[in-house]
Structure 1
Amino acid sequence: MDKVGGAQKHVEALAIKLKQDAHEVTIVTGAYDASLWRLQEEQITVISIPAMQRAIHLTKDIQALWQLRVAFKKIQPDVIAAHSSKAGAIGRIIGRLLRIPTIFTAHSWSFTEGVPQNKQRMYRQLEKTVQPLTTKIITVSDYDRKLALTKGIAPAHKMLTIHNGIEQIEGANVPKREHNEHPHIVMVARFEVPKRQDLLLQALLELTDIPWHLRLIGDGSLRPQAEQFVKEKGLLERVSFLGNQLDISPLLAKSQIFVLLSDWEGLPISIIEAMRAGLPIIATNVGGVNELVTDYNNGFLIPRNDHSLLTTRLRQLLTDPTLCEKMGDASERRFLRNFTFSPMYQKTVSIYEQAILKFAKKGD
């Protein structure tokens, strides 16, 4: 949790609500940057194990396994909720060793379409190996559940879809909508693979004949490259790099169009946040994105790397405020109908409770 991402936001939101509901919650993570999260003010215990890293590294992975085993023996949890491929695999191994029920949430399979083939093969085999150690698998999109079934990762009875959901903003906390002199486009994504800020910048370079301003929220190793592109192409007056933001709601309220052009995704929380803000969406049609965005309804879906269509759709929305407003209203209605936090939370807690009961009946 040293970077902001959808999976991390999901974990934070679940942890805070679980704590508020009087459960004991401990988050165990690799690298941790406390300034990015509200966990400290919510008095949620966080254990950082630096040996637990994203990349596969045999020595450090063995260290992480040992350190996790020590930590979990001390915590003695009723259930382990594991998130992301690497932590998910290690967490499930420890769960089996210590006889603790383990729920794995797949935020996007590492063998999904768009991931390099060699990585797909490696992670597909890894998931098949640790699947028998898993009590239940939650997928955040129907796309990911179907993909896992197609690839033979786990039997159907072991997996269920619980769509991501986020809290509604109500009362005095609702950011005031702003209408700018020029349309403002916003993209919320870390500057890392598989996010593609470069595609958006290249498309907008062809639209300098019409007014627009772009806000890029997020940080990461690819940010300097994007900043250099903006400087070289003379876009400094039109593009703002805002870095990580703890609360993006006011920035979304100041925007007219939301764009996300990932090469692969699960069910992006950033899109759900944009829907809550009543924005039209332009997004690549990958993973579960089409479970959030319906083409021509609350936005436009773009095939991966379709530069021409991306430029066309951007021009469409930038020059038609009525269409923007119509699609934005559709986004907000869809959010309120399907992607609020409470149903997601209740379903998730129910799965935790079922896993604990199942283990108790087995005598484990």
Structure 2
Amino acid sequence: MRLTVVIGSLERGGTERHLLQVLPGLARRNFSVEVFCLSHKGSLAGDLVEHGVAVIGRDHRSSQRAIRMVQLLFSTFYLGLRLLFRRPDFVHFFLPAAYILGTPIAFLTRCRIRVMSRRSQNNYQRAQPWIGKIERTWHRCMTAVIGNSEKVVSQLGEEGVSADKLHLIYNGVDLAAFTAGPSRQAARASLNITEGTLVLVIVANLIPYKGHQDLLQALALANADLPEDWVLLCAGRDDGIGPRLQDRARSLGLASHVRWLGSVENIPALLPAADIGLLVSHEEGFSNAIIEYMAAGLPVIATDVGGNGEAVGSGETGLIVPARDSVHLAEAIRRLADDKDMRLRMGDAGRDRAQERYALGTCVEAYIKLYRELA
């Protein structure tokens, strides 16, 4: 079966990392998989190619906005030619830009099976209502629409997607990568962190809605009750707010405790160094980071948005707090920082939950089952 995935780029992010894990699994199951990047290929493209997935697109993104717009129009035209030439059995759109631009092309080129995956809540439609109007129209052109959490599926239903088109497929991660990772001692040694240090980690690109400002404020509130040598590891690409966050950390007296690691390729090698995993977003679909924390045996503190509550199960594998609420976030941090037994118990429960519900193989099989049903 020929599958064409359409996305803006393969720069490092939650959706892109999801594709990096799932698409090679499809390629190994007799799918001919191609990713068409409308903007540019991105940093993960080479990894996909190594696993038998073709990637189509420009190698680099122009720094000039006018040139990027012209290139985007050319890419959209080329997508049409590519679909006519390849005649894929399925065209699958990920993220709003690819969905908005690619749907009419797939429709005009008579691609029979058209699939869209929504990976986040639809809050972005509030700032730009025209996007919501277009997406609601395009929904009628889809053969299937996939959400990655019950919250996302519910919102898609409210947007008019009929129940027979709606599907729920949770994210999955390669759990073997976490069992084969370095020991806690080795991971800490590589970061020059001592055994007794309390280590918190957040894996999230530096984007305003990821809530780093809220986290810094919460840590300032909890600082007096934390061990003297605690550390926060921030792993994620800087999308423009890094300097502002660093200034905020300095103004709160936290600079010596916070390490800005930038984009980290090997997350399974980083997480064993930590005691607590954090995800404090204002909006989410279903976070890979939470599953990775659980796979690494970390208790999780996450905000009550999107599928976070579904993944964590408050009180079982971690604690759920309201979004944008630094006071309750600080309280949750204090609670886990003070109770090592609770951390270990929740970490063990999280590892079991990840193995039972969020294994990569389970996710790949769900896609295969859906594609075959649609075909």
1:350 partner letter: K
Supply the distance in 2 between the matched residues of 1:139 and 1:70 (Cα, whole angstroms): 29
2:130 is equivalent to residue 118 of structure 1: no
Q: Indicate the residue corresponding to 1:44 in structure 2.
A: 53
Q: Indicate the residue corresponding to 1:295 in structure 2.
A: 314
2:278 is equivalent to residue 259 of structure 1: yes
Q: How does 1:308-323 map to 2 (within 5 A)?
A: 308-323=327-342
Question: Normalising by the residue count of structure 2, what TM-score does the alignment of the two structures yield?
Answer: 0.86
Q: Secondary structure at the match of 1:324?
A: helix
Q: Indicate the residue corresponding to 1:162 in structure 2.
A: 169
Q: Secondary structure at the match of 1:203?
A: helix
Supply the distance in 1 between the matched residues of 2:17 and 2:308 (Cα, whole angstroms): 18
Shift of 1:160: 0.9
Shift of 1:296: 1.5
2:244 is equivalent to residue 244 of structure 1: no
1:215 partner letter: L
2:235 is equivalent to residue 217 of structure 1: yes
1:181 partner letter: G
Name the count of aligned residue pairs.
349
- Provide closer, same or farther for how the CA distance between residues 67 and 52 of structure 1 changes in structure 2, counting only shifts above 3 A: farther
Question: Normalising by the residue count of structure 1, what TM-score does the alignment of the two structures yield?
Answer: 0.88
Q: Indicate the residue corresponding to 1:202 in structure 2.
A: 217
Q: Secondary structure at the match of 1:279?
A: coil
Q: How does 1:1-364 map to 2 (within 5 A)?
A: 1=9, 3-29=11-37, 30-34=39-43, 38-48=47-57, 62-100=73-111, 101-109=113-121, 111-112=122-123, 115=124, 117-119=126-128, 121-152=129-160, 154-169=161-176, 173-178=180-185, 180-209=195-224, 210-211=226-227, 212-220=230-238, 221-355=240-374, 357=375
- Cα displacement string for residues 210-255 of structure 1 (whole angstroms, at most 9, x for unaligned residues): 2211000001211121122223444332111111111101211110
Q: Secondary structure at the match of 1:46?
A: strand
Q: Secondary structure at the match of 1:40?
A: helix
Structure 1 range deviating more: 30-39 or 322-331: 30-39
- Cα displacement string for residues 115-173 of structure 1 (whole angstroms, at most 9, x for unaligned residues): 47333x33321221111221111111111111121232x11101110111112216972
Root mean square deviation, CA, Å: 2.5
2:117 partner letter: T
> Percent identity at matched positions?
25
Supply the distance in 2 between the matched residues of 1:303 and 1:81 (Cα, whole angstroms): 33
Shift of 1:67: 2.1
Matched-pair contact (CA < 8 Å) for 2:16–2:44? no
Supply the distance in 1 between the matched residues of 2:62 and 2:138 (Cα, whole angstroms): 17
Shift of 1:311: 0.7
Shift of 1:59: 6.5
1:267 partner letter: F
- Provide closer, same or farther for how the CA distance between residues 216 and 341 of structure 1 changes in structure 2, counting only shifts above 3 A: same
